[in-house]
């Protein structure tokens, strides 16, 4: 997707201006020789997230954030102007030497900020060339679903998030890399294929209904849905055919669709991804088994298969068959895809 050059220029100027003042603040810290260096935190805010709630909450939150974090941090605020803008803001911030880039919004915003940590298949380095100095990824979950935060038991509560940021605890977490029809894409939560991806595609059209968007999206995806035979290659071994696949989920995180625990064994610090394959499901199975999706017991179902992987390739067995693919709730295109884990690729503020 293209980004408005004007909007991008504006965001860069905003960051550069704040950088100049922070450089001054840093030198005065050093002159006194007492305080630790101030840290540059860039907050990438999607004002349209959660149907505009993110922007409204952020405006109320910013004065508190400045009070709580302003003593040790330079706070840089950057609002997105449209889809993909968060990718560009993040790349610019890392090149300028930001200590942390914090996504403020839902999983879509987090996904874009994550993708801003990479360029041409490699992590982005600061302009001064010091690639050992890593930028940390942070999150203030304020989206419709905010599903990645659920893996850590976090709520959509921005004050909790600010406390976590203030504590500054960091942990290395894994990232998934997908190579498909849209080129390289990184994901932090779940990549999924077929029915759930189609439901995600449609639910994005109903975000104005809040969490109900997932119900409407699922209902629309069921119309004309057929389970499909897929061939799958795990960890570079031989292709194996899985018949009547309803959905296939590759989890770094555990939840999607506004709280469905579809990959209950996923752990973003494990160095692996967990794959869950649902086979032969009919529409009424979802009604009967919906509670299992919400209480994390789906793996007890006979037609649900799960395993840990380092890499996976998925393709249709015959013909083209437009099988939807999404990652972190964002539509990515259609099969085939290759996917692998990048263990500990990101420093994350926990
Ligand atoms: N200024 C903007 N105007 C319109 N869309 C935007 C803007 N900035 C970002 N976006 C797009 O909004 C989409 C959704 O954002 P986000 O994920 O923050 O909220 P959400 O969809 O409500 O939450 P969740 O993904 O957790 O359900 C993203 O895919 C992003 O590309």
Based on the fold, state whether residues 155 and 193 are members of the same structural domain. no
**CATH number (domain holding residue 245):** 2.60.200.40
Answer whether residue 72 is part of any domain: yes
* Inside any domain, residue 173: no
Flag whether pLDDT at 17 surpasses 60. Answer: no
The whole-chain average pLDDT of the chain stands at: 89
**Residue 49 shares a structural domain with residue 109:** yes
| Interval 147-177: pLDDT, tens | 999 999 998 889 999 999 999 999 999 999 9
Based on the domain organization, do 300 and 216 belong to the same domain?
Answer: yes
**Residue linked to tokens 């390289």:** 184
Is-contact 252 190, C-beta < 8 A? Answer: yes
Q: Is 192 a catalytic residue?
A: no
Confidence band for 142, pLDDT divided at 50, 70 and 90? very high
Find the CATH number of the domain harbouring 83: 3.40.50.10330
Q: Of the residues 49, 214, 330, which should be mutated to test ligand 1's pocket, given the most ligand atoms within 8 Å of the CB? A: 49
The residue ranking higher by pLDDT, 233 or 28, is 233
Predicted complex ipTM: 0.98
Residues 187 and 151 in one domain: no
Final residue in a domain of this structure, among 168, 192, 208? 168
Residues 6+ apart with CB under 8 A from 95: 124, 125, 126, 127
Residue 305 bridge partners (DSSP): 277
- Classify residue 178: in a domain, yes or no: no
pLDDT at 296: 94
Based on the domain organization, do 204 and 59 belong to the same domain? no
Decide if 320 is inside a domain.
Answer: yes
- For residue range 58-93, what is the model confidence (pLDDT) as tens digits? 999 999 999 999 999 999 999 999 999 999 999 999
Residue 348 is assigned to a structural domain of this protein: no
Q: Of 175, 96, 174, 164, whose CA–CA distance to 135 is shortest?
A: 96
The pLDDT value recorded for residue 274 is 98
Together in a domain, 222 and 163: no
Burial 237-262 (b: 16+ CB within 10 A, else e): eeeeebeebbbbbbbbbbbbbbebbb
Domain boundary among 111, 142, 168: 168
- Let me know whether 221 and 326 are in one domain: yes
Task: List pLDDT tens digits, range 99-122.
Answer: 999 999 999 999 999 999 999 999
Looking at the structure, tell me whether residues 143 and 207 fall in a common domain. no
Residue 46 CA: nearest ligand 1 atom is 8
User: Which among 43, 106, 139 is the best mutation to test ligand 1's pocket, defined by most ligand atoms within 8 Å of the CB?
Assistant: 106
pLDDT at 162: 97
Cα separation, 227 vs 85, whole angstroms: 36
pLDDT of residue 137: 98
Residue 182 pLDDT > 70: yes
The rounded distance, in Å, linking the Cα atoms of 276 and 192 is: 9
For ligand 1, say whether the CB of 109 is within 6 Å of any of its atoms: yes
Residue whose C-alpha is closest to residue 258's, from 333, 204, 219: 204
pLDDT at 211: 80
Question: Of the listed 88, 99, 107, 192, which one is catalytic?
Answer: 107
Instruction: Tell which of 168, 194, 210 closes a domain.
Output: 168
Same domain, 146 and 211: no
First to last CA, the chain: 31
CA distance 190 to 180: 15
Flag whether pLDDT at 19 surpasses 70: no
- CB-ligand 1 contact for 52 (6 Å cutoff): no
- Residue bearing tokens 């035979």: 229
Residue 177 within a domain: no
Answer whether residue 176 is part of any domain.
no
Shared domain check, 322 and 211: yes
Q: Candidates 45, 86, 109: which one to mutate for ligand 1, based on the most atoms within 8 Å of Cβ? A: 109
Residue 209 clears pLDDT 90, i.e. is over it: no
Q: Which domain holds residue 15?
A: 5-168
- Expressed in angstroms and rounded, the spacing between residue 311 Cα and the centre of ligand 1 is 28
Total number of domains constituting the chain:
2
Residue 97: predicted pLDDT: 95
Q: Is residue 67 in some structural domain? A: yes
Whether residue 111 has its Cβ less than 6 Å from ligand 1: no
Model's pTM, two decimal places? 0.89
CB of 183 shorter than 6 A to ligand 1: no
Q: Which secondary structure element, helix H or strand E, spans residue 29, and what is its range?
A: helix 5-32
Both 139 and 244 in one domain: the answer is no
- Looking at the fold, whether 88 and 151 belong to one and the same domain comes out as yes
In the reported structure, the alpha carbon of residue 106 is separated from the centroid of ligand 1 by a whole-number distance in angstroms of 7
């Amino acid at each position: 997707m293209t980004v408005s050059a004007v909007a991008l220029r504006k965001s860069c100027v905003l960051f550069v201006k704040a950088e100049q003042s922070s450089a001054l603040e840093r030198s005065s810290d050093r002159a006194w020789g007492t305080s630790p260096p101030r840290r540059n935190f860039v907050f990438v805010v999607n004002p349209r997230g959660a149907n505009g709630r993110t922007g409204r909450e952020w405006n109320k939150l910013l004065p508190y954030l400045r009070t709580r974090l302003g003593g040790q941090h330079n706070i840089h605020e950057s609002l997105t102007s449209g889809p993909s803008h968060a990718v560009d803001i993040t790349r610019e911030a890392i090149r300028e030497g930001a200590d942390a880039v914090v996504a403020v919004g839902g999983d879509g915003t987090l996904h874009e900020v994550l993708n801003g940590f990479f360029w041409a298949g490699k992590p982005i380095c600061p302009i001064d060339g010091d690639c050992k100095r890593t930028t940390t990824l942070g999150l203030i979950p304020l989206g419709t679903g905010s599903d990645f935060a659920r893996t850590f038991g976090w709520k959509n509560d921005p004050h909790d998030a600010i406390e976590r940021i203030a504590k500054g605890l960091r942990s290395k977490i894994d990232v998934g890399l997908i190579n498909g029809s849209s080129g390289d894409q990184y994901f932090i939560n779940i990549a999924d294929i077929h029915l759930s991806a189609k439901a995600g595609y449609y639910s994005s059209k109903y975000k104005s209904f809040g969490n109900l968007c997932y119900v409407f999206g699922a209902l629309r995806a069921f119309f004309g849905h057929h389970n499909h035979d897929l061939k799958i290659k795990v960890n570079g071994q031989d292709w194996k055919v899985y018949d009547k696949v309803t959905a296939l989920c590759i989890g770094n995180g555990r939840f999607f669709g506004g709280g469905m625990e579809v990959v209950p064994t996923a752990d973003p610090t494990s160095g692996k991804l967990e794959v869950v394959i649902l086979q032969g499901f009919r529409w009424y199975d979802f009604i009967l088994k919906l509670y299992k999706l919400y209480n994390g017991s789906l793996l007890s179902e006979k037609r649900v298969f799960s395993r840990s992987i380092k890499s996976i390739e998925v393709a249709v067995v015959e013909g083209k068959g437009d099988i939807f693919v999404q990652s972190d709730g964002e539509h990515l295109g259609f099969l085939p895809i290759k996917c692998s884990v990048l263990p500990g690729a990101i420093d994350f503020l926990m």
